[in-house]
Amino acid sequence: MSVHAFRMQLKPGVIAEYRRRHDEIWPELIRLLKEAGISDYRIFVDRGSDALFAVLTLAEPNNRDSLPLHPVMQRWWDHMAELMIVDETNRPAEWPLEQVFHLP
């Protein structure tokens, strides 16, 4: 297992809607993420900058790299695109975060 952390960026003023959509996350998306080897996925927001910070645990082996090709993932990205900074496929822009401290 490995831990991955990354940053994403919300557009201004959309945190309530972002939270609402995640409160109603699709069961098929949850299944897809778990089948890809993802667990303990958490997203935090910095309300001062609307930056999102995500942390997830990834099983080994996993198929996380196949997620962008899955129709459920593509539909979720389309559903969220108006709220976030995204690329041309509506995939949220991600900036990896480097771990600098760990207290086991």
Question: Catalytic one among 22, 70, 79, 102?
Answer: 22
Q: Residue 91's domain spans which residues?
A: 2-96
Residue among 50, 56, 55 nearest 85 (CA): 50
pTM above 0.75, yes or no: yes
- How many domains would you assign to the chain? 1
Task: Flag whether 104 is in a domain.
Answer: no
The overall average pLDDT reported for the chain is: 97
Q: What angle do CA 18, 22, 28 make, to 5 degrees?
A: 140
CATH number at residue 36: 3.30.70.100
Q: Give catalytic status of residue 79 as yes or no.
A: no
Question: In whole angstroms, what is the distance from residue 43 CA to residue 4 CA?
Answer: 12
Task: Flag whether 43 is in a domain.
Answer: yes
Confidence at residue 15, expressed as pLDDT on a 0 to 100 scale: 98
Q: What is the pLDDT of residues 17-57, one digit of tens each?
A: 999 999 999 999 999 999 999 999 999 999 999 999 999 99
